[in-house]
Amino acid sequence: MEYNKSFDDLLSNLMLADNDIRNAAEQQYSNFPFSTKLPMLIQSIRNSPNIENRQLAAVLFRKVLNDKNDEYRKLDESSQQYCKTELLTALQSEESDLVRRKVCDAVAELARLYVDDDNQNLWPEILQFLFQFANSPNLSHKEVALQIFRNFPTIFGNQQTHYLEVIKRMLFQCMSDTTNHKIAYLAVDATTAFLMVNDNDQLRRHFQDMVPPILTVVQMCLAKTDDDSPLKNLIEIAEAIPKIIRPHLNDLAVELIKNISNSQAESNYRQLSLEVLVTLAESAPAMMRKHGQIIIQLIPQCLSMMIDLEDDPEWSAWDNSDDPEDSDSNPIVAEFALDRLAMALGGKAILPHIVSVVPQMLQNGDWRYKYAGLMAISAVADGCQKQMMQLLTNVVMTILPFLKDEHPRVRYAACNAIGQMSTDFAEYFQKKFHDKVLPQLLDLMDDIANPRVQAHACAALYHFCDDCPSHILKIYLEPIAIKLKALLQSKLQELMQQGTKNVLEQAITAISTVAQRAEGNFLPYYDHFMPSLKFIIQSATTPEYRLLRGKTIECVSFIGLAVGTDKFLYDANDVMQLLLKTQTGDIEMTDDDPQVSYMMTAWARICKILGKQFVQYLPVVMPPLIKAASAKPEVAIFDEDDEKAQDDGWEFVKIGEQQKFGIKTAGLDDKGTACQMLVCYAKELKDGFVDYVEEVSSMTRVRGAAIESLPYLIESAKFKGGLVTQIWQFVLEEIFQAIKMEPEPEMLANILDSFAKCIESLGKGCVNGKDMEKLTEIIHEQIKKLQTNAQLRQEFLPVFDKLLPDFAGLITPDRNWQERQWAICAFDDLIEYTGNASFAYHGYFLEQYINSITDVHCEIRQSASYGCGIIAQFGGEEYSKFIPEFVPPLLKVITDASAKEIENLTATENAISAIVKICVYRSNLIDVNLILAQFLNWLPITEDELEAPHIYGFLCNLVESNNEIILGKDNCNLPRILSIFASAFITGILADDVNTKTRMETIVNQIKSVPEMWNSCLQHLPESDRQIFQ
């Protein structure tokens, strides 16, 4: 085919900025049939005088092949031969590097079509071409061979093993060509692609001696800083096959740390050098721990990069939602690296080096050192949690003074550390340091001159309150509310005058959290906040305030839920009208508007508050909810260089050498939220939801939140006569199908539970004979599985015999505490699920259990104590002679002077629970009265929600049976018992055990029924306890 100039002009038009001309060209191009388009593209590749046109033609040729490879296979032999010959000829004659590279991509794509299902390459000329060009003295020819091989590393098909040494030699020779670093870089790229696609340990070991030349090229790359691809290739290797780096790790680390430490080097190369070592720590943590010297050198370099800060005088005055911090800056990258190192290697490997360096940084007069030191503490806190817990008091006392440092960025970093530790050491941190932390955070919220510090103080307050026990938060509720009210009002004025909003957003988030945690205690402060929040919803309607408005909507709904219907009802209609303006088009919203998810969840909370009064809003509320709930995720396959393949809104999995499978995750969270909201509406509104039952039931798939909604949909449908029969038939078929397909036992249990509730709601006759047969078969199958599982537990014991030496080896005192804990937990499960049969193995663990009850590590004490309780409950009679031996060490743990220290509470409470289980299940083996004489002194318990029902249930048994030891002479212990109950109510430890909580409330009411006794008890209770019972 001859060169067609009009087609070439068409290609030019495809690249024009003029939309009309370009769109017309696109339409004209798409109208060309495949058999015509392909040769015309080739002619433009070969003959167009315009470099851009030749480049575009090569790109389009590859895309056409990729999209329509089946049509290519239908071409006759001569047409296919024409494509192959012309493309290879183009590679020999093309002078432009850019065009040649795109033609290489096209040739690689074409070569893929000639590897058949038996992995045989049916285009032998391409292999000859590769060998010829790889051995050519012409550098551009070598480049072509490497680029094709990099794009299609499995091009040799089933002949790869035969040519393996040739491939290796070709890559080695190109990599060793120090006269032309471009060829060396490409060889590293091609080698990496080859190793990535060949997931074969033997082949990869065979290529292990290629690592030194790769490292040589990396050194060249670091010296020239002209192309960072060798470093990126090394990161790929470090992530996927770190083992081949092991013999060369020390040499590699020396070069990388040398580059990281070079403050004159380009930031990109320093950061990529750091990334190689961090990736190795994540992919091969044991290997990196063994090379501790690398960590010793690396951490100070991370800290040094974190000091690379500029003293921007405008930094502290920033008050905008979009964080101006450069995520690619050295300090941010190094901070993230520290976080990842700590998570990968753990506290034992990381914390000692932080502790040895950071204190000196904090004492430095330069604010940058103090800032970096505090941010380093934040970065490693999560990964070093276990080890830092032991130093937490010292760490916190070290941080607190910096909340008052003269430099705003140091105060900011101190807030960051407080917020991080509030999350990483949740509840423990709040219980131990509330009196020291909260007053200082509230003071920082007055830092008017530094909005950024104010915002971070609000964020730290949010993190602190999010996990703060309600009885502690109650102490500070008034000063917190006063401070947040003042901040809200002042920042609202600034919003109106200057448009600044970040501090306001953070303050509103803090208000939401405080209201959520305070619940009814927030009632006195309702009027402090609601008018201003309503004003923001009404006024902040332009796009730049979307997030602020969304957070305010959330805040209002949390406050409404906290204070209840009576208080919120007056404002609820106003709030709903403001929100409905958004839905009815008065306020423009895009699909990715953050307000959408905030509004959906806010509507559900307001629905809970208003009940049936919410029905009037459903016509406007439901359409966007149904749209979100029925959304289907977009999926696609992209080329590596496709712009969408870099989109943050997508998640990708690599398939093949040059393509990615992508799923658009943006909107999936909204879909899940919408399903939960539909459950809420159906549950709360019942007959008020009837008009939407048919649409929702036909849309909902029976899984997750959807299964929970089915009984409520049925309940709603009952209010519309014949609709319920139609809905039930649809739902019934869905349920049967879901039961058949569901792989997860927990989800299957939820489906069956929902099925049962539907039948209960509909009553007799809702299941016909055919469906009853299906249901009977389902129940039969599940019982059969249950019996099979029970049998498997016993049958597992012989299999466990093979594992026994491993677990027995882990439980010995010479192993580290984590390994011992794993082993004890394994034996705990063995006892719980195999009962008396586990006694056959008691010689391996029982003595270690008894010794471990008083171990120095609280985790070991907890596991061993729990195991003693499990033995008492499930162990069978053969354990009886050993159970009395548990009691003395358990009592020692319970009565130890430090038993009630926060770090020891879980172990102490498991020891109490073990004693209780012995009293309940093996009372004949011990003197229970001796235990009861001490029992009240051990209570209350406040931490272990799993053991609380056993302990408080036992206490209820004793009180209900009028046990004289527990009640005391003339019921003198009743005030103590009430105080214990009050603690349980305050901490909410029985939130998931309604039965025990109800029994306790009944006991309280019985005492109240005798006024003289009740008044006498109240006189002995502190004010905080008396308030609980009022």
Query: What percent of the chain stands above pLDDT 70?
Result: 88
Query: What percent of the chain stands above pLDDT 90?
Result: 56
Bigger pLDDT: 518 vs 595: 518
Strand partners, 650: 664
Instruction: Give CA–CA dist 823/820, Å, rounded.
Output: 5
Bigger pLDDT: 650 vs 15: 15
- Tokens encoding 986: 């305050």
Radius of gyration of the chain (CA): 35
Are 318 and 451 in contact, with CB atoms under 8 Å apart? Answer: yes
Which candidate, 450, 448, 447, 376, places its Cα nearest to that of 414? Answer: 376
Task: Label residue 962 by pLDDT band (50, 70, 90).
Answer: very high
- Please name the residues in contact with 536: beta carbons below 8 A apart, sequence gap of 6 or more: 492, 495, 504, 508, 548, 549, 552
Q: Tell whether the model's pLDDT for residue 950 goes beyond 90.
A: yes
What residue has token string 């209960």?
760
- Mean pLDDT rounded to a whole number for the chain: 86
Using alpha carbons, list the distances in angstroms from residue 485 to 335, 479, 481: 34, 10, 6
Instruction: Give CA–CA dist 1007/1011, Å, rounded.
Output: 8
Which candidate, 826, 787, 794, places its Cα nearest to that of 810? Answer: 826
What residue has token string 């380093």?
376
Pairing of strands 650-655, 635-639: unpaired
Which candidate, 857, 940, 850, 858, places its Cα nearest to that of 888? Answer: 850
Q: pLDDT per residue over 331-372, tens digit each? A: 999 999 999 999 999 998 999 999 999 999 999 999 999 999
Least confident of 150-164, 201-215, 667-681: 667-681
Are 477 and 484 in contact, with CB atoms under 8 Å apart? Answer: no
What pLDDT does residue 318 have?
A: 73
What residue has token string 């026994």?
804
Instruction: Give CA–CA dist 109/65, Å, rounded.
Output: 7
Instruction: Give CA–CA dist 334/352, Å, rounded.
Output: 18
Q: Write down the H helix ranges in 346-444.
A: 347-362, 367-381, 385-389, 392-399, 408-424, 428-444
Q: How far apart are the first and last CA of the chain?
A: 95
Strand order of the β-sheet with 650-655 is 635-639, 659-664, 650-655
Instruction: Give CA–CA dist 217/204, Å, rounded.
Output: 19
Task: Label residue 651 by pLDDT band (50, 70, 90).
Answer: low
Q: What angle do CA 51, 54, 55 make, to 5 degrees?
A: 85
Pairing of strands 635-639, 659-664: antiparallel
Q: Tell whether the model's pLDDT for residue 688 goes beyond 50.
A: yes
Task: DSSP letter for 524, please.
Answer: G
Q: pLDDT per residue over 455-498, tens digit each? A: 999 999 999 999 998 888 999 999 999 999 999 999 999 988 88
Rounded average pLDDT over 693-721: 63
Task: DSSP letter for 115, please.
Answer: B
Helix (H/G/I), strand (E/B), else coil: 661: strand
Using alpha carbons, list the distances in angstroms from residue 131 to 50, 128, 148, 155, 815: 31, 5, 12, 12, 56
Q: What angle do CA 39, 45, 47 make, to 5 degrees?
A: 95
What pLDDT does residue 181 have?
A: 87
Q: Tell whether the model's pLDDT for residue 654 goes beyond 80.
A: no
Q: pLDDT per residue over 66-92, tens digit each? A: 888 788 888 999 999 999 999 999 999
- Tokens encoding 251: 């040499």
Instruction: Give CA–CA dist 252/26, Å, rounded.
Output: 50
Q: Tell whether the model's pLDDT for residue 554 goes beyond 80.
A: yes
What pLDDT does residue 124 have?
A: 92
Pairing of strands 650-655, 659-664: antiparallel
Task: Label residue 703 by pLDDT band (50, 70, 90).
Answer: very low
Rounded average pLDDT over 227-248: 94
Classify domain 808-1029 by CATH number.
1.25.10
Instruction: Give CA–CA dist 830/235, Å, rounded.
Output: 43
Q: Tell whether the model's pLDDT for residue 320 goes beyond 90.
A: no
Are 327 and 367 in contact, with CB atoms under 8 Å apart? Answer: no
Which candidate, 584, 560, 587, places its Cα nearest to that of 572? Answer: 560
Query: HSE-up of 298 (CA within 13 Å, CB side)?
Result: 34
- Please name the residues in contact with 137: beta carbons below 8 A apart, sequence gap of 6 or more: none
Q: pLDDT per residue over 988-1024, tens digit each? A: 788 788 899 999 999 999 999 998 999 998 888 888 7
Q: What residue spans define the domains of the chain?
A: 808-1029
What pLDDT does residue 177 have?
A: 79
- Please name the residues in contact with 735: beta carbons below 8 A apart, sequence gap of 6 or more: 702, 710, 751, 754, 755, 758
Q: Tell whether the model's pLDDT for residue 298 goes beyond 70.
A: yes
Task: DSSP letter for 969, please.
Answer: G
Bigger pLDDT: 726 vs 48: 48
Rounded average pLDDT over 426-431: 88
Task: DSSP letter for 592, please.
Answer: T
Instruction: Give CA–CA dist 925/922, Å, rounded.
Output: 6
Neighbours of 255 (CB within 10 A): 16
Task: Label residue 241 by pLDDT band (50, 70, 90).
Answer: very high
Length, in residues, of the chain: 1030
Instruction: Give CA–CA dist 413/375, Å, rounded.
Output: 6
Q: pLDDT per residue over 717-766, tens digit each? A: 667 666 677 677 766 777 777 777 666 667 777 777 777 888 887 777 78
Packed helices 565-583 and 618-629: angle between N→C axes, nearest 10 degrees: 70
749-753 contacts at long range (C-beta below 8 A, 24 or more positions apart): 750/707, 750/708, 751/702, 751/707, 752/778, 752/782
Q: Tell whether the model's pLDDT for residue 775 goes beyond 80.
A: no
Instruction: Give CA–CA dist 233/227, Å, rounded.
Output: 12
Q: Tell whether the model's pLDDT for residue 920 goes beyond 70.
A: yes
Rounded average pLDDT over 813-833: 84
Rounded average pLDDT over 965-988: 90
Which candidate, 147, 40, 33, places its Cα nearest to that of 83? Answer: 40
Question: Cα 783 from chain centroid?
Answer: 36
Q: pLDDT per residue over 155-186, tens digit each? A: 999 999 999 999 999 999 999 877 788 999 99
Task: Label residue 936 by pLDDT band (50, 70, 90).
Answer: very high
Using alpha carbons, list the distances in angstroms from residue 796 to 366, 416, 803, 871: 63, 50, 11, 19
Q: pLDDT per residue over 365-376, tens digit each? A: 999 999 999 999
Bigger pLDDT: 201 vs 646: 201
Query: What does the CA dihedral 246, 247, 248, 254 come to, rounded to 10 degrees?
Result: 80
Q: Among positive and negative, which fits the CA dihedral 447, 450, 451, 456?
A: negative
